[in-house]
Chains A and B, each alone.
Chain A
Amino acid sequence: MSDDPSVGKLRALVAEFEPDRGHLMPALHKVQDTYGYISRQAMEVVARQLRTTPALVYGCVTFYYDFRTHPPAEREIAWCSGPACRLRGGDRIREALQHTLELPLGGISADGKYGFHNGQCVGTCSEAPQVWLDGKVVGDLTVAKAIELGRSVRGGA
């Protein structure tokens, strides 16, 4: 997933996209879906393909929460920032997980093994408070359960 792709491969990947047709976001999605993140090199290739500047592409990439400029961690805990979770101790879960993982929201461990992210509410509020572990909902949490989950992810379980 995270091999930095060659310029040739990147060009081929985004060859279908055209300037001034609203293709920047689809092109960036395609790069991220393929490689897991959007490298500086990819931004330059996309910019060239769409006849725009790397700075504009970079501006777009960094504007959105879900575009990544670095490879994702092997395991990811995404914390649900939604209101139903908040009402049931969600913020205390965030605080506890930050300390358990020793990562801020948006952080990745130095060895790239695990990351901690902010997740947006998608309306699975019956499970509140919840986090996603590698995209799968872990709901009905208590702070203690969240800490145990964090420890097991950190310990490589």
Chain B
Amino acid sequence: MNARLQTIIDEAKARVETKNTNGREKVNVCIDTSSIARGGEETLAKIREVAEAKGLRIDIGVTGSWGFSWMEPTVTVRSAAGTQTILYANVTADRVEEFIEATVVSGGTMPELALGVVEGTATDDIALLSDHPWMKGQERRLMEYIGRHDPVNIDEYLADGGYEGFGAALELDAETIVNQVVESGLGGRAGGGFPAGRKWDFLRTATTDERYLICNADEGDPGAWVNRVILEGEPQQIIEGLLIAALATGSFEGYVYIRYEYPLAFERFKKAAEQASSLGLLGKDILGTGLDFEIIPFLGAGSYVCGEETGLIASIDAYRGMPRIKPPFPAQSGLWNKPTNVNNVETYANAPLILKNGPEWWAGVSDCEDKGTKMFTVSGAINQPGCVEIPYGRTMKELLENYAGGMKEGSTLKGFQPGGPLSGILPASDINLPLTRPPYQERGMFLGGGGVIFFDQTTSIIDLCLYFVGFCEDESCGRCTTCRGGTQRAVEILRRMANGGGRNTDIDKLLDIVNTLVWSNCLHGQFGATSVKVALKFFRDEFDEVIREKRDPTRSLPGLISYVITSPRDESLAAAKDICPTVAISESAGTYSLEDAKCIRCGACKELAPGAIEVRDRFAPPIPADVAAAGG
């Protein structure tokens, strides 16, 4: 180990030790975007207020997210002696008073909110966190300390083995580092799966000295927040990964392109980079090794195609973020036309683990083609939207049942969307598919970057396709007509179908578009209608019903349903009339009526008068042939 790095680590450990042995309780609130949405900041403020009012001498801090997004705000309390740390969930501001009273003032616990014991021994009513059903079976490597560490205190990262991977890399030559990454089998985590080590080797062997690294933190897949959990929870791990890549590739500058929608991630990452610089881990002649490496946090401005590597490069390069045709690949000609390596946040963050623990250990966790662990976020009609880390190769079913907490009450799984708008929509019968790329490739789609969405019987496949293709249409950069016009035309057809104007020729037209889009310049267009392509394979009946029968089995497509008042004198209709944003409901002498032409099918009225309003098929079912023949 580099002596200067060892000193930095030892000093950080000493500072953490001093803090940990100061005899104070430590109350740490998870503050990430998910927690803030559920009142995390209010909880933190309230804890500070209560501590001050009671004159408590406690350390109050902030951590990243454990992944329990559906139970935020989560809070850990470490006992004054440091013998026990317990994680609590749903600690909303209104419960802080009793929470602090129970866990700090009385020195006890609050079992009703406890998730588990993080450090120490299980108590009679609180089990170990590692025994929590949601934690069991996870292989938390990237996330090992996320939720425990203060994301903007580099000392905590250093004290728990941080920068040891970089330390190990400093002892090796560039080729050996690359070989270790190749050997590990680390593939691109954004969905492509291209071997990171091979990508690094292109750069290492480039003939130009000026080389760049780019970390793609433009996580734009709706429903995915994997990278955000790392950026907001353990930003140093990304910096360490970039440093290792810098050593391996001979790069001197690394851009970290963070999407505009993640301001907290940007702020934390910037602070983390400043801290690394102040300790001499970034900058000129790092640790006396001769390595020069700077990190430039770069803020996007809202564009999905900037997640495509050449679009991202154009965006940094002061142009519209429009992808271009490859080749040349960024490794040949990237940023400022110099060799550039672009990897995803999760990909870089894995590098320290490989260097520190060796490629065999790293790869050994999974027994399928894709190596290592993968973080997944789950959302949709499920009980537990959250973020987990499991080895590649587990099944989608396991993800749904063990981690997503199964479908919500009343919901039956109709299908799922494994990752991002460029991926496809699969039926419930595919729930046993393993989480590894090949079976999805066989179905002509991506496994994706980790944002899995489960949907139920109330979701219309046509609407889902409209959503995903509509997203791709909105986000098309517009450079190639294939993508711009193709996605637009697909949306027009799907929207017409949803509005009741489906034609018998529509499916052929959609297939024609799908097959043409593959000639687009970049992935965005090439996969822009994958949702339709795959849905047509597995949900063809639903398309046929919507087109031919003008009937939507989910009763959700606006053009195929009508809201009908079934009990015109029902008193609850007064509220329904008031809420209607288009004044479609009127009243005369206590009798209510609904004017279909004004109705926008928003459903607000039915929410308030569920017993008096029904959703019906807009078009009456066709008269059966035998009835028609009988004249009737």
One of A5-13, A93-101, A107-115 at the interface:
A93-101
User: Is the pair A96, B604 in contact by a Cβ cutoff of 8 Å?
Assistant: yes
Q: Are A92 and B603 in contact (CB under 8 A)?
A: yes
Taken residue by residue from 275 to 316, chain B's Cβ proximity to chain A (1 for < 8 Å, 0 otherwise) reads as 000000000000000000000101111110000000000011
Contact call B380/A60, Cβ cutoff below 8 A: no
Residue of A nearest to B454 (CB): A87
A84 & B385 in contact (Cβ 8 Å cutoff)? yes
A91 at the interface (CB under 8 A from B): yes
Q: Are A144's CB and B608's CB within 8 A?
A: yes
Given A22-B317, A99-B581, A147-B581, residue A125 in contact with residue B379 (CB < 8 A): yes
> Is B33 positioned at the interface, with any CB of A under 8 Å from its CB?
yes
**In chain A, residues 50-102, which have Cβ atoms closer than 8 Å to a Cβ of chain B?**
50, 52, 56, 59-60, 63-67, 81-84, 86-89, 91-93, 95-96, 99-100
* B224 CB contact (under 8 Å) in A22, A66, A99, A123: A123
Q: Are A126's CB and B582's CB within 8 A? A: no
| B457 → A minimal CB distance (Å) | 11
Contact A87-B453, Cβ < 8 Å, known A122-B228, A144-B608: yes
Contact B34 A87 (CB under 8 A): no
A152 is an interface residue with CB less than 8 A from chain B: no
CA distance A129 to B221 in the complex (A): 17
Pick from B69, B315, B335, B581: contact of A126, CB below 8 A: B69
Q: Tell me which of B9-17, B92-100, B203-211, B254-262 binds A.
A: B254-262
Q: A123-B69, A144-B608 are in contact. Are A63 and B303 (CB under 8 A)?
A: yes
- B28 close to chain A: CB less than 8 A: no
Query: When chains A and B are docked, how far (Å) is the Cα of A25 from the Cα of B296?
Result: 13
Q: Is B222 an interface residue (CB 8 A)?
A: yes
CB-CB under 8 A for A83 and B72, given A122-B261, A124-B37, A126-B385: no
Contact status B33-A123, CB under 8 Å: yes
Instruction: Contact check, B316 vs A25: say whether CB atoms are below 8 A apart.
Output: yes
CA distance A20 to B338 in the complex (A): 14
Q: Which residue of chain B has its CB nearest to the CB of A21?
A: B318
Cross-interface CB contact of A120 among B302, B322, B581, cutoff 8 Å: B302
Q: Are B379 and A95 in contact (CB under 8 A)?
A: no
Q: Which of B303, B602, B607 contacts A65 (CB 8 A)?
A: B303
Partner of B600, one of A20, A87, A99: A99
Q: B302 to A66, Cβ gap below 8 A?
A: yes
Contact call B301/A28, Cβ cutoff below 8 A: yes
Q: Is the Cβ of A121 less than 8 Å from the Cβ of B301? A: no
* Cβ of B467 under 8 Å from chain A: yes
Classify chain B: how many residues form its interface, as a range. Answer: 35 or more
CA distance A28 to B296 in the complex (A): 17
Chain B 325-347: CB-based contact to A (< 8 A → 1; otherwise 0):
00000000001100000000000
Interface centre among A20, A52, A95, A119 (most CB of B within 10 A): A95
Does A128 reach chain B (CB closer than 8 Å)? yes
Cβ-neighbour of A29 out of B301, B453, B581 (below 8 A): B301
Assign chain A's interface to a size class. Answer: 35 or more
In the complex formed, the residue of A with least CB distance to B296 is A22
Residues of B contacting A104 in the complex (Cβ-Cβ under 8 angstroms): none
Q: Given A96-B581, A99-B582, A127-B38, verify A120-B379 contact (CB < 8 Å).
A: no
Interface centre among A50, A122, A123 (most CB of B within 10 A): A123
B233 CB within 8 Å of chain A = no
Whether A143 contacts B380 in the complex (CB less than 8 A), given A64-B301, A66-B302, A121-B223, comes out as: no
Interfacial chain A residues near B451, Cβ < 8 Å: 123
Structural contact, B318 and A23, CB atoms closer than 8 A: yes
Chain A residues with CB under 8 Å of B579's CB are 144, 147-148
Q: At the interface, yes or no: B321 with Cβ under 8 Å from chain A?
A: yes
Report the bound CA distance from A128 to B555 in whole Å. 20
Is A42 engaged at the interface, CB distance under 8 Å to the other chain?
no
Over the window 129-155 of chain A, the binary record of Cβ atoms lying under 8 Å from chain B Cβ atoms (1 yes, 0 no) is 010000001010011100110100000
CA distance A156 to B378 in the complex (A): 37
Whether B34 pairs with A124 at a CB distance below 8 angstroms is yes
B35 to chain A, nearest CB (A): 9
Contacts of A56 in B (CB 8 A): 318-319
Residue on A with the closest CB to B41? A136
B262: A residues at CB distance < 8 A: 122
Other contacts beyond A120-B261, A124-B34: 16, CB < 8 A? A22-B316, A25-B316, A26-B298, A29-B299, A63-B303, A63-B321, A89-B603, A99-B582, A120-B220, A122-B33, A122-B228, A122-B262, A123-B224, A126-B34, A126-B72, A130-B37
Which positions in A face B, CB cutoff 8 Å? 20, 22-26, 28-29, 50, 52, 56, 59-60, 63-67, 81-84, 86-89, 91-93, 95-96, 99-100, 119-128, 130, 137, 139, 142-144, 147-148, 150
List the interface of chain B (C-beta within 8 A of A).
33-34, 36-38, 69-70, 72, 220, 222-225, 228, 255, 260-262, 296, 298-303, 315-322, 335-336, 377, 379-381, 385-387, 417, 451, 453, 455-456, 458-459, 463-464, 467, 471, 477, 558, 579, 581-582, 600-604, 607-608
